[in-house]
Amino acid sequence: MVVVMAPEATEEHVAAVVERVEAAGGEAFVSRGVSRTIVGLIGDVTAFGDLELQALPGVSDVVRVSTPYKLVSREHHPEKSTVVVGGVPIGPGTFTLVAGPCAVESPEQTLAAAQMAKAAGATLLRGGAYKPRTSPYAFQGLGQRGLEILADVRAETGLPVVTEVVDAHDVELVASYADMLQIGTRNAGNFGLLQAVGAAGKPVLLKRGMSATIEEWLMAAEYIAQRGNLDIVLCERGIRTFETATRNTLDIAAVPVAQGLSHLPVMVDPSHSGGRRDLVIPLSRAAIAVGADGILVDVHPHPETALCDGPQALVESDLRALAAVCRQLPPLLGRAPVAG
Amino acid sequence: MVVVMAPEATEEHVAAVVERVEAAGGEAFVSRGVSRTIVGLIGDVTAFGDLELQALPGVSDVVRVSTPYKLVSREHHPEKSTVVVGGVPIGPGTFTLVAGPCAVESPEQTLAAAQMAKAAGATLLRGGAYKPRTSPYAFQGLGQRGLEILADVRAETGLPVVTEVVDAHDVELVASYADMLQIGTRNAGNFGLLQAVGAAGKPVLLKRGMSATIEEWLMAAEYIAQRGNLDIVLCERGIRTFETATRNTLDIAAVPVAQGLSHLPVMVDPSHSGGRRDLVIPLSRAAIAVGADGILVDVHPHPETALCDGPQALVESDLRALAAVCRQLPPLLGRAPVAG
Amino acid sequence: MVVVMAPEATEEHVAAVVERVEAAGGEAFVSRGVSRTIVGLIGDVTAFGDLELQALPGVSDVVRVSTPYKLVSREHHPEKSTVVVGGVPIGPGTFTLVAGPCAVESPEQTLAAAQMAKAAGATLLRGGAYKPRTSPYAFQGLGQRGLEILADVRAETGLPVVTEVVDAHDVELVASYADMLQIGTRNAGNFGLLQAVGAAGKPVLLKRGMSATIEEWLMAAEYIAQRGNLDIVLCERGIRTFETATRNTLDIAAVPVAQGLSHLPVMVDPSHSGGRRDLVIPLSRAAIAVGADGILVDVHPHPETALCDGPQALVESDLRALAAVCRQLPPLLGRAPVAG
Amino acid sequence: MVVVMAPEATEEHVAAVVERVEAAGGEAFVSRGVSRTIVGLIGDVTAFGDLELQALPGVSDVVRVSTPYKLVSREHHPEKSTVVVGGVPIGPGTFTLVAGPCAVESPEQTLAAAQMAKAAGATLLRGGAYKPRTSPYAFQGLGQRGLEILADVRAETGLPVVTEVVDAHDVELVASYADMLQIGTRNAGNFGLLQAVGAAGKPVLLKRGMSATIEEWLMAAEYIAQRGNLDIVLCERGIRTFETATRNTLDIAAVPVAQGLSHLPVMVDPSHSGGRRDLVIPLSRAAIAVGADGILVDVHPHPETALCDGPQALVESDLRALAAVCRQLPPLLGRAPVAG
């Protein structure tokens, strides 16, 4: 951490910074320049954050120079992690296709979507029983009945289940049905929920908040990890920008950046980032090529009657094309092909 | 709602749109142009949203032309509302100064901050017992002990208490202490929490999500209103943009825009938007002048030792300046002066 | 400037940084921490920028700690500047209303708009003869004929003329008619144009680029200043964000921030930021209250037939309301009232 | 185009809209709903834009439903175009690697970079003689001397030259040396420059403005096309967002979106979007996989001494890896491999 003093800071101001740092058990190095003085801090950065040095008189800026997360960082854990979900490994050397309906609507629709997904090479089924919707008038999901349907479809198809949890007090219930808990983009700052899934003993799929920086995304993962759960898969799903041609802007560079900063696997959701069916396959190819550990796509047997996000769901013919991509591209990146 | 067909759409595509709309009980008007056909829909827009018309073949775009919220809209309720919190009215003709420490740290600090606030003319005390923090290593608030301190300080000063709730299952507890429940920016998409505060029978201060459009902010309010609670005060607190000179970008135009779309009072938080003490007073002046119904500021007796957001907290001398502003400006906008 | 070494950086990497800095005539202080080493640099920051230290092996980050602009900075020129345009002072103690039609369309329309502006207290006339338009099919302005009309209207009304220049090679021509040259938001990165107006010997109104940080805006001003012209007035006109309810997002905090960093006057354009007539007066009040040195508004005798930006132009009755605001508010901020 | 009337609009308001549209030679269809009336317009959309219908009383919103560009749109020209630069085709079935130094610094550096580029399979040399720099104190390019060096290196290596032009009045000079003119991100709204390159008779590489929507980018291309030049290659180079981990946010979805809307080839600049050497190869892979017609990368024989953007320049070993990618991936997308 580096404290940059204002040009008009006095010796007393500098001394006050040094004193506070030393009182917290850190060391402070003072470098005096022509127009400004810089104080470099050595020690426990977390403690320094709580010192609120920025509020001291004469302080112009406080610059952090190391990462504020630890458990999920690659600096503290250089080897990449593999997260296993219902027997399916996600991480180096593998490529995982997760697919399913945005929302679980009925046993028939869910089974049909799961069979489509499986035929395309998906090894995990994703479907929503609890749906966070911007409008209180939109379909909110089937709740526990949806979880039961997912469990039945798992029994029928053998695909482990990934499903979203939106409230801390549903975590236990959802975890009793699901193989992996999904945290959606709107809950990336719902810290109580993050802590609850951290304690639930199931792997977690953590979507990036739609306005979260990569650092904040890793901090959200740190909340989960802190409760003893390191089985976390990060998922880039597009960020909010000024561009309106797509639903969100897929930040494709976030994949290698997050993989460089963290040992956790990183997946991509090409369905929610583009929000358009015709973009799913190009964005899936981009995600595989950039080095993602997997992708997450919406499929629906009849998208035109879907209760949620129909415009972005893949249909049968799209899935055949996607399957071809998932067989062909991952091996070029040193990953096992998807057996679709 | 208007459905724009693609240039290559066939008569069958158009007919399919009309058919689905009519099956849902709506009416569809077809206008054929040189290069495109447009279908205008009349009827219950909410139902149309669920039709997922965008997913039909030949459909290029679906344009909504009315607001997706009702209870909080001015279209359905032209007169502006007044929300009363512990006897303090917020709304037309009034200007309300809400002040207090970002986080409740101790009885002494909270009482001192409350007395500072009151002396400046604040009529509501805001203090955080539950703090949503980006870092799991940062101070997370005193929890129930914080609520007790706030209740004691209310007894001592007479100031009704506004405090944040971050988890749906704490709502009952927090509501038993507080006069107004605050929903923070990170929970603007935590719909379960919004519904819970909607059912709690206490007024709600709803901060705008840091990447929420004004429409999404009003949809969040609609979630609360739908549970029977229309005692909602909106609070603009800055949005996330590319600019890094300030913590967030205060969207000052959001105040008149939201006041035009909704009958609810709209306040401004100049502390969190700027994130810098030196900006609080200029931004407070701007908020009053643009027509806000109140402002919400952080105060701290000793910001340099604050456990949360010290750099933006006002001190004694700032508060005297703020009090002068709050006495002088509101009357120019047809509001009662703050008696500081 | 501070160079943050990567955790894995070697002693040779650190030595290479020190060597390059010293070769450029600077001094380097090395602080070794537990996990990282920091090198503080003292000397000519501009030269350091050209050292491209970021490209050296073992370097993780390079953090600038002083401003990259000099001539326009308050650090080097603490007293605030007054810019005089055709005898009208803009700066401390004054408040300037600049008004006129977005585009000059005809002598009659321009004169009528100028008379409306003058009656409301405007002391400078702004009108566009060269219009940068997103669409090549939109009205592009009358060019030199527009300049002649502006000169005629100045003769008739006595109002000095502010007008935009969009091409470096028109600068001489435009400067021969205008009292102040406006640089629009789309040209904030057109460095050749900035240098040309810097050499033209006329005051400059520099709008902020729609995606420019405050620092980049001041760098654009530095380009002008470097050519010997310090008669620059900055103008905040809204930035591009995800919000679509307004044309741009007025960054009201940019006014005090820019005034803190630079000695130049700062104005606000409430017409282009909101893009809606009903927002012009609330945003004008906010601009005055936040401490702006002036505002710039679009007026039009018949906005419904305007060839450019009609929806945001003020009409007669709005102007009377604006005049009242400009008489009343500036004195509260220590400025002379506008004599409307 | 669709005009949405306000709920309170009267019959007179609706009639005024219809009248104005018909006076301009268009047709207007009125659809009356429960709470609002919609007027659908048929005819020449450009003319309607100039009608400024938004400014009419009772009008709530005007929604455009067709594209505002024509010459570059795929709607009017469904077949994809191939642009030939110095004999090198860019477009369907091909994949083009453009490489070179960000700035031309010396004959030796430029020749060395060109040889590196050629060895990696590049068929076009890109180098900057005129550099738009945010800081007036940064290296601004060698100007005409740089153009001469590029011409010499072309003679030596056989690589046609792509170089940026930043001022309308340099276009003729630059065009006399270059095979393709580059318009940089900062000049995407410099309409005079766009028109000048449109008239220069050389192919144009048009970078997306850093805050331009895809529609605005295509409008900028329309400015060039309108002057009779359809030899335009679009280049996505990252947009400005809140994320600071990368220099810009590469909007990878913009490639298929722009290819769907326009018949022009679309390239990607992975160097400027990420701003970091370690991201260039992953982003290049993503660009090829998403379907780009080519990529544009910075190379430098000695990036640590580069006068411009050294941190993002590829070195020898990176280029070998990039060459392998450019041989392997394009054939999977139906394109000829790069012969590196």
| pLDDT per position as a tens digit, B80-108 | 999 999 999 999 999 999 999 999 999 99
Chain D partners within 8 Å of B241 (Cβ): 242
Q: How confident is the model at residue C75 (pLDDT cuts 50, 70, 90)?
A: confident
Query: Shortest CB distance from D31 goes to which of B40, B63, B240?
Result: B40
Nearest-by-Cβ selection for A55 from B50, B132, B311: B311
CA C146 to chain CA centroid, Å, is 23
Over residues C82-98, mean pLDDT: 97
Q: Is A143 exposed, middle or buried (0-12, 13-18, 19+ CB in 10 A)?
A: middle
In chain B, residues with a C-beta closer than 8 Å to the C-beta of C279 are 253, 256-257
Chain-centre distance of CA D204, in angstroms?
A: 9
Please tell me whether residue B185 adopts helix, strand or coil conformation: helix
Nearest residue in C to A243, CA atom: C242
Res. C45: pLDDT tops 80? no
User: Please, which pLDDT band fits residue A340 given cuts at 50, 70 and 90?
Assistant: low
Reported residue count of chain B is: 340
More confident residue, A118 or B62: A118
Distance from CA of C213 to the nearest CA of D (A): 10
Alpha helices in A203-275 (DSSP H): 214-226, 254-261, 270-274
Residue A220: how many CA atoms within 13 Å on its side-chain side? 32
Tens-digit pLDDT profile for residues C207-248: 999 999 999 999 999 999 999 999 999 999 999 999 999 999
What is the Cα D265 distance to its own chain's centre? 9
Look up the ipTM and state it: 0.92
Tell me the nearest-neighbour CA distance from D269 into chain B, angstroms: 21
Between A270-284, B44-58, B252-266, D308-322, the lowest mean confidence (pLDDT) is in: B44-58
- The helix (H) or strand (E) run that includes residue D282 is helix D277-290
Q: State the CB neighbour count (10 A cutoff) for residue D277.
A: 20
* β-strand partners of A164: A182
Closest Cα to residue C53, out of C74, C8, C11, C23? C23
Q: CA-based diameter of chain A, in Å? A: 74
Pair type for strands D96-100 and C266-268? unpaired
Interface test with A, best of C14, C21, C31 (most A CBs within 10 A): C31
Q: Say whether pLDDT at C125 is over 80.
A: yes
pLDDT confidence of C178, banded at 50, 70, 90? very high
Please give the helix or strand (H or E) that residue B59 lies within, else none: strand B59-63
Token pair in block for residue D51: 């009608």
Query: How many C-beta neighbours within 10 Å does residue C316 have?
Result: 12
Q: Which of A2-11, B181-190, C187-196, D193-202 has the lowest mean pLDDT?
A: A2-11
Closest-CA residue of chain A to B45: A137
pLDDT at C332 over 90: yes
Please report which residue ranges of A42-106 form alpha helices under DSSP H.
45-51
Which partners does chain C have (≥3 C-beta pairs < 8 Å)?
Answer: A, B, D
CB nearest to C31's CB, from A42, A60, A242? A42
Query: CA torsion, points D54, D58, D61, D64, in degrees to nearest 10?
Result: -60
What lies within 8 Å, CB to CB, of C131 at 6+ separation is: C102, C103, C138, C139, C140, C141, C164, C166, C308
pLDDT surpasses 80 at A31: no
Residue-level pLDDT at D62: 81
Q: What is the pLDDT of residues A121-146, one digit of tens each?
A: 999 999 999 988 888 887 889 999 99
Orientation of helix C107-119 relative to helix C144-157, angle to 10°: 40
**Which residues of chain C are within 8 Å of residue D138 when distances are taken between CB atoms?**
46, 49-50
The predicted pLDDT at position C303 comes to 83
Q: From the CB of residue A185, how many other CB atoms can be counted at a distance below 10 Å? A: 24
Q: Name the least confident of B120-134, D60-74, D125-139, D287-301.
A: D60-74
Is A184:A207 a contact under the CB 8 Å cutoff? yes
Q: Which two tokens stand for residue C100?
A: 């006129």
Cβ pair A2:C2 closer than 8 A: yes
Token representation of residue C87? 């005898």
Query: Which of helix, strand or coil describes residue D146?
Result: helix
What percent of chain B has pLDDT above 70? Answer: 96
Across chain A, what does the average pLDDT equal? 91
Query: How far is it, in rounded angstroms, from Cα B128 to Cα B141?
Result: 7
Judging by beta carbons within 10 Å of its beta carbon (0-12, 13-18, 19+), is residue D12 exposed, middle or buried? exposed
Domains belonging to chain A, first-starting first, are 2-63 (3.30.70.1140), 83-333 (3.20.20.70)
Instruction: Check C249 against B245: CB less than 8 A apart.
Output: no
Give the pLDDT of residue B53.
83
The amino acid at residue B13 is H
So what's the pLDDT on residue C43?
A: 66
Type of residue at A166? V
Encoded tokens for B242: 């590319």
C87 closest CA partner among C120, C61, C124, C33? C124
Q: Which pLDDT score is estimated for A140?
A: 85
Looking at residue D133, its pLDDT comes to 84
The pLDDT of residue D271 is above 70: yes
* B83-85/B88-90 β-pairing: antiparallel
Question: Quick one: tokens of D100?
Answer: 């070179």
C254, C257, C282 ranked by CB distance to B290: nearest: C282
Radius of gyration over every alpha carbon of chain B, rounded to an integer in angstroms: 23
* Cα C279 to Cα C276: distance, rounded to the nearest angstrom: 6
User: pLDDT over 90 for what percent of chain C?
Assistant: 69
pLDDT at B65: 67
CA Rg value for chain C: 23
In chain B, residues with a C-beta closer than 8 Å to the C-beta of C239 are 241-243, 249
Q: What is the dihedral of CA D199, D202, D207, D213, to 10 degrees?
A: 40
Query: How many whole angstroms separate alpha carbon B125 and alpha carbon B158?
Result: 9
Chain A: give the shortest CA distance to residue C65, in Å: 7
**Is D43 in contact with B34 (Cβ distance < 8 A)?**
yes
Given this model, what pLDDT does residue A45 score? 58
Instruction: Determine the pLDDT at residue C284.
Output: 97
Query: Is A240 a residue whose pLDDT tops 90?
Result: yes
What residue of A is the nearest CA neighbor of C249?
A242
Write out pLDDT tens, residues D145-157. 999 999 999 999 9
Residue D135 has pLDDT above 70, yes or no: yes
Contact (CB, 8 A) for A59 and A13: yes
